[in-house]
Structure 1
Amino acid sequence: MTPPALSTLVPKPESPPEPHHFLHAIDAGVSSAPSLIVPKTEPLPESPRFPTSTSSVIVPKLEPLPELPHLPLETYASSVSCTAIACAEAIAPAAFNKKQKRSCELVRVANVPDEVLQRDAVRRARTTYECLRSLLGRQRSLPSAGKLSRDSPKRCRPDLDAASIMGRCGLWLFRDKRIIGSIPGILVGDVFLYRMELCVVGLHGQVQAGIDFITANQSPTGKSIATSIVVSGGYEDNFDCGTELIYTGHGGKAKNVFRQRDHQKLERGNLALVGSYNYGIEVRVIRSANSDRSPTGKAYVYDGLYKVIKHWTEPGVSGFSVYKYKLVRIDGQGKAGTELFLHAERLRNGSFSEKLSSYLTNDLSKGKEKLPIVLFNDIDDNREPMLSEYLRCSRFPPSVSACKSGHGGPKNGGCGCLENCSTNCPCILKNGGFPYDENGILVKGKPLVYECGAGCECSSSCPNRVTQNGLSYRLEVFRTNLSEWRVRSLEFIPAGHFICEFAGVVLTKKQLELESVSGNGLVYPGLIPAMWEKWGDLSDVDPDHKPCSLSSLPRVAFALDVSNSRNIACYLKNSRCPNVFVQFVLFDQYNESYPHLMIFALENIPPMRELSLNYGLE
C-alpha cells in the first residue's frame, strides 16, 4: 500500500505565519575557568541564567513555534539566526550528566574564541580512540587489554569496544543531540575510518542509521529535526553530484540487502528531515568513500553543511514508495572532502592536462625517492626548490657515522635474526616490544625508536625497518598565495603512519661554533616539541598508563642545515596545531645524540590538505 503524500501530513494555514527567532544571537567569550568555555550573556526574559541542559552550555530560551507548513527556504531562513556560543562539553565531557533534565533549546556553535583549543580537544579524543582501538585489536588476550574491556570476549570489535570504554570514562564530545550545524574542532574534509568514531566526536550519533535527529520531546517545536546524515550508498535510489544530493529516506529494506522490500514510512529520521526542511535547519553531511588505506576499505568524509530544499515521495526502482530529499550545499565552506578525494585521484593519474604548465617538474627528488614528488606553481615564476640538492635522508658527519655499536648481536653489533625479527630480538627488546604493528603504524610514541640497521641480518622486509624505505605517500610541493612553498598530500594518510624523513646536513655543536651558517637555513631538532607523547597516550582511560621515558638518553644538540641540501619535509608549514609529528629513530648509526627525524601523521590527513609541523618557534 502506498503511503499518503507528505503534504497531507503537514497542515497548511491560509497565510504563512511570521518567522520566529528560536536561536538568538549572543556574544561569545571565555570564562575564567581554563577548561570551560561559555558565553558572556545578559539575563534573558523568562530564561534561566545558568544552563539547565546536560551539555553544560548557556543557551537562550526558544520561542514556541506554531504548526508550520513547508515554506520556501528563502522565507524561513532569516528566522534561524546564528548563535555565537562555545560548547563547554567539548573541553569538559565528564560534566555530562545523563540524569540531569534536558532543556528543549537548540544550540548552534559559532565564533569559537579559541579554535586551536577546540581542535586539540577533538584530536585528543580521536587519538585516544585510535590508539585504544589498536591496542584492543593487538592485545585482546593479554591482561593489559583485558582489564580495559568489560565486554564479552566473544565479540571481536575493537572499534565498538574502544568507543564503549571512552563513553564510560566520559570522553565522548558533544553528546547533546540538540547541537545543530558545525561541530567545533572538526574541519570540512576531515576523514574518519569507523562509524563509532563519528559518535565519539559528536558528528553523527547513530551507529548504523543514516539519519541522526533531535526527537520531538527534545525539540522546541515538538517536532523532530534532523541534524546529520551519512551518505553511504546503501539505497538504490540515492543520487549524488556533490553540491546537490538526492537522499533516500530510511526503512523498507531487510538487513544487508540493497533493494527495497517494502514501502517506507514517514517516521523517525524521515520525519526529522521534513522538520529540518520546514524550519530551515542545516544538516551535517558525511559521505562514505572507498579507501585502500582504511582497514574497512572505506572512509567517512565530513563534507560540511547542507540545506533540505525539497522533499517528496515516489515509487522507487524496486516499485515501493520511498521518501526523497533534495539537499544543497551551503556556500562559503570550501571544497567538499569527497570532491578533494576525486581531485587528488585525478592528479595522481595525471589526467589534468590543462594544468601541465603549472607543474614545474614531475619528480623533485629526481628518482631518489621511490615515489615521485611533483612541484606545482600557478602563482609566479619561482623555481627555488629545483635549485637545491635533494637528500633522501640526512647527511651525518663522519665522526657520527662511525658509531656502529648497536643493540648487541653477532654482526657489527646488530641482531642475528633470520628473515623477520622476533620478540627476543635485541633490537625489539631495546624498544620494549615491537614499535610498529603489522600495518606499519607506530604503536606508541617514544623518546627514541631503535630500528634494525645495516649491522642486522634480518631481511629488508623486517617489520622493524619501517622508516628506512623512504617516502611512503604521494606528496606535492606547491606555491601558496603568500608566495611560500608548502607540502600537501595527494592521497589519504591514516594517523600513525610514517610519511617521510626530515632531511638535511647534520651540523654538530662544534661545527656550529666554527662555521658561519645562516640562521634562516637551520632547523634545531632540540626545539621541536615532543608531540610523540600524544601518540599512544591512554592516560585518560587507563589510570595505570605510564608514558615512555628514557632518562639516560643524551640531549639532542645538533642542527640541520637545509639551506642548500634538503628534502620535501623542509617545506612543512610551522603550526601551533600540527597534523604531523617528529619521532626520533636510529638505524644506520647508533649515536643516540644524532637520531633521524622521522615524520608521522598525528591525525588522519585527507587528500590535498597541507602538512604542518610544530617547530617550537615563537
Structure 2
Amino acid sequence: MGSLIDLNLFPDPIPDPTTSTAAAAAAVTAIVPKIEPKLEPLDEPPHQFPHFSSPNPIISFNSQPNTPFSDPNTDPNALSQTPENNSTEENDVYSEFYRVSELFLSAFGNQSGDVHVSDPDSRAIVPVPAENQLSVDVVSSSSRRRNARSSELVRITDLKLEDQRYFRDVVRRTRMLYDSLRIFWVAEEEKRRGGLGRQARGDLKAAQVLKDNGLWLNRDKRVVGSIPGVHIGDLFFFRMELCVVGLHGQPQAGIDYVTASQSSNGEPIATSVIVSGGYEDDEDRGDVIIYTGQGGQDKHNRQCVHQKLERGNLALERSMHYGIEVRVIRGLRYHGSLNGKVYVYDGLYRIIDSWFDVGKSGFGVYKFKLIRMDGQPEMGSAILRFADNLRTRPLTVRPMGNISFDISMKKEKVPVFLYNDIDSDHTPLYFEYLVTTVFPPYAYYQGGNGSGCECVSECLDDCLCALKNGGEFAYDRNGILLRGKPLIFECGTHCRCPPTCRNRVSQKGVTNRFEVFRSRETGWGVRSLDLIQAGAFICEYAGVVLTRDQAEVFTMNGDKLVYPNRFAERWAEWGDLTRIFSDYVRPAYPSIPPLDFAFDVSRMRNVACYMSHSSTPNVLVQFVLYDHNNLLFPHIMLFAMENIPPLREISLDYGVADEWLGKLRICN
C-alpha cells in the first residue's frame, strides 16, 4: 500500500479571549462565503438533472430481455434498491490509509501553537490539533454513507505496482458501469418516446443512480494531486463522469476546491481546474497556462463586472501559497464525440503566480500562472492534436518510421497504417490481408440459412431477428453494444431490411483508422488514430477456420493458430449491472455450444491479429452470426470496453494458457 498523507491539517483560527462566545460565533458565520460556481460555456446547464419524485429513485432491472431498464413510474414490479456497501478490498485499502494517518498524526502529538509554513513547496504538511481530529471509526463508517463530500485533504504517494493495478481496475469498472447505465437509460427513453422528443440525458441519470448507490469514488476524502487509477490522457465525454471518478467534483464549476467553511483553518484550497477556453483572457500554451479566475460574467459569458478574490479565486491563491498542486482537465471541442466535446486529464500543475489585471473587456480579472510539473507522461490533449494531424498529414508530422499507409490494400473502408521506428522488421507486409473470416463451405449449410426478417424500412422490437436475440436488439440506434451476450444474431442476407438497419453493426467492417506499430514491450501492437467510444465496434478477428484434425496438423508444422474457445468471456462484464440491481440476470440466451475450431493466421490475417494480450483489456470478444445460422462457427467480433483515446494501445484477453503447451491461445 502506498503512502496516504493527510493534508487537511490546518488548525482552526485561535479565538480572541476578549471576544464573547456569541460574538465569535457570529464572526465565524459572517465570513462564510456564498458559493456561486463559475459556469463553463462548453458545459450543459445544471438544471437538466433528471427529476425524481423521491430522493432515492426506485429503479428495477427486470431480467426479461425486452425490459432491461424499467421505468419506476410505469413498472409495477420495480424494486427499491439499497446502496451497496464498499467491497472488502476497498475496506482493506482505506484501513491501511487510516493506520498510516494515525502514525503520521501521532508524530505531532506534542506540538501546539500557530502553524508556520516556511517553504511554499512544503506540500502543506502541518500538525493537526487534537480537537480537529476525527476518530477512525467515525471516518470509516458514517462519512461514507453521507451524500456530502468530505473536506479531508490527502495526497496519495508511492503506490506499489499491485496497488496501482487495484485502483486502475476500480476506476475501470466504475467507468464501465457508468457507460452501461448511460447507454441503457438513453435506449429505454428513446423506446418509450418512440424516437421523438429531446435526447435523454443519460449521463445525468447514470451519475445520479451511481451516487444513490454510494458508488462515486473519492467522496470520503479530497485527493490532492493524482487520483489513483486515473491516468494522464484518460478521456471523458461528460462532466458528470469526472465527478463519478473524483477527478473534478463540480458538475458545472471550473474550479473544484474545499470551501472556507469546511477547511480546518478557514481558508479554501483548490484541487483541480477545467481549462476550456471559456474566458477571453485565458492563455493556454500547453505546459504554461494563464488561467482566468471565476465570476463577473453575464449569462452570455461576457465579463460585465470586476472579479473578487473569493471562492475559487481565493482557493487558487491559497493553493499557490501552500505549494499545493492542482489537477488540470482540458475541455476540447472534438468532432466525432458524443456531444461535440471531450475532457482530457493532462496532469498536475503548480500555481507559481497570481495577480489582478484589466481584462480585454475592461473589467478587472484575477489571473493565475500554472506551470506543468516535470516527470509526467505526455499531455492527452497534445496526443489528440497529434493524432488529428497524423490522419491528414502523416508525412509532415511524422516523416520517419512509416512503412505503409494501408496494409489492407484498400480492402478495408479506411486505411490501416504500418509504423516501425524501432528496427527494420516489416513482417506484417508479408501476410495477405483478410477482411473477414473464411469458413468451410459446409458451415453455411449444416446450420441452415433459415429465414430473415420481413422488415422493410427499419427492424422493430417484435421482428424475427429480435426474437432470435431473446426479444431485444443488441445495439442502440448509434450502433453501440448495449450489453454483452453469449451470441448476437444480426440481420443478414435473407432479411429485407436495408443496410442502414440498426441490427447490422459488425458486418459493416472497420470504420476507425488503425495503425499496426512496433513496440519494445509487446512486439507488434495496434492503436487507433480515432477516438473510440465505449461499446463501439472495432473490427473482426479474422482468420481461416480449421477443424480440430486440421489444427493438429498445422500445429505440428509450426503454423500460428488462434483458438476462439479460449477467449476470456469479457462480454459478461459489459452491461453487467449487478452492483446496481439485485434482480439483474446475466444474459444466457441465445446460447452457443463449445467452439471446436481454430483460426489459421499464418498466411492470411487482419489488423486484429496484432493486438496484444492483457489481463485488463480495453476490448472484449463478442460472438456474432449474420451470414449463416450455424452456431458452431460464429464470427469473432471485437468491441470497446471503455473510451479508447487516439494512439493508446488496444489490447484483448486471449484467456488462460494452454494446459499442455503453457502458451496463450495465439502462438507469436
TM-score by length of 1: 0.83
How far is 1:78 from its partner?
4.5
Distance 1:269 1:388, change over 3 A: same
Q: Which of 530, 533, 545 is matched with 2:584 structurally?
A: 545
Distance 1:45 1:353, change over 3 A: closer
Correspondence 1:289-304 to 2 at 5 A = 289-304=332-347
Q: Which of 635, 638, 648 is matched with 1:599 structurally?
A: 638
**Cα distance in 2 for residues equivalent to 1:425 and 1:76:** 68
Distance 1:44 1:304, change over 3 A: same
Contact 1:64/1:220 (<8 A) preserved: no
Correspondence for 1:426: 464
**Cα distance in 2 for residues equivalent to 1:416 and 1:608:** 42
How far is 1:234 from its partner?
1.4
Distance 1:404 1:518, change over 3 A: same
3-state SS of the aligned residue for 2:481? coil
The CA deviation string for residues 409-452 of structure 1, in whole angstroms up to 9 with x for no partner, is xxxx2223223322222112111212111111011111101011
Correspondence for 1:310: 353
Correspondence 1:265-280 to 2 at 5 A = 265-280=308-323
**Structure 2 residue 299 is matched with structure 1 residue 251:** no
**Structure 2 residue 185 is matched with structure 1 residue 130:** no
How far is 1:533 from its partner?
1.0
Contact 2:536/2:639 (<8 A) preserved: yes
Distance 1:561 1:115, change over 3 A: farther
How far is 1:123 from its partner?
1.7
3-state SS of the aligned residue for 2:383? helix
Q: Percent of pairs identical after alignment?
A: 46
3-state SS of the aligned residue for 1:77? coil
**Cα distance in 2 for residues equivalent to 1:556 and 1:23:** 55
2:93 maps to amino acid: I
Give the number of the structure with larger relative contact order, counting CA–CA contacts within 8 Å between residues 6 or more apart. 2
Correspondence for 1:507: 546
Correspondence for 1:34: 89
How far is 1:513 from its partner?
3.5
Correspondence 1:363-442 to 2 at 5 A = 363-403=406-446, 405-406=448-449, 408=450, 413-431=451-469, 432-442=471-481
Contact 1:131/1:536 (<8 A) preserved: yes
Distance 1:561 1:99, change over 3 A: closer
**Cα distance in 1 for residues equivalent to 2:109 and 2:169:** 30
**Structure 2 residue 355 is matched with structure 1 residue 355:** no
Contact 2:151/2:222 (<8 A) preserved: no
1:309 maps to amino acid: I
**Cα distance in 1 for residues equivalent to 2:270 and 2:385:** 28
Aligned length: 557
**Cα distance in 1 for residues equivalent to 2:109 and 2:513:** 51
Distance 1:212 1:509, change over 3 A: same
1:427 maps to amino acid: C
3-state SS of the aligned residue for 1:216? coil
Correspondence for 1:53: none
How far is 1:165 from its partner?
1.3
Correspondence 1:61-76 to 2 at 5 A = 75-76=119-120
**Structure 2 residue 383 is matched with structure 1 residue 335:** no
2:372 maps to amino acid: R
3-state SS of the aligned residue for 1:138? helix
**Cα distance in 2 for residues equivalent to 1:526 and 1:254:** 60
The CA deviation string for residues 371-399 of structure 1, in whole angstroms up to 9 with x for no partner, is 00111111111100000111001111222
**Structure 2 residue 520 is matched with structure 1 residue 472:** no
Unaligned stretches of 5+ residues in structure 1:
1-20, 25-31, 50-59, 83-87, 144-152
Contact 2:216/2:245 (<8 A) preserved: yes
**Structure 2 residue 620 is matched with structure 1 residue 567:** no
**Structure 2 residue 219 is matched with structure 1 residue 181:** no
**Cα distance in 2 for residues equivalent to 1:346 and 1:93:** 50
Distance 1:359 1:350, change over 3 A: same
2:238 maps to amino acid: Y
Distance 1:552 1:571, change over 3 A: closer
Correspondence for 1:111: 159
TM-score by length of 2: 0.77
Distance 1:68 1:352, change over 3 A: farther
Contact 2:7/2:152 (<8 A) preserved: no
1:346 maps to amino acid: N
**Structure 2 residue 181 is matched with structure 1 residue 139:** no
Contact 2:437/2:545 (<8 A) preserved: yes
How far is 1:588 from its partner?
1.2
**Cα distance in 1 for residues equivalent to 2:277 and 2:583:** 43
Q: Which of 216, 223, 248 is matched with 2:267 structurally?
A: 223
**Cα distance in 2 for residues equivalent to 1:363 and 1:93:** 57
**Cα distance in 2 for residues equivalent to 1:116 and 1:381:** 34
Q: CA RMSD in A?
A: 3.3
Q: Which of 387, 391, 401 is matched with 1:344 structurally?
A: 387
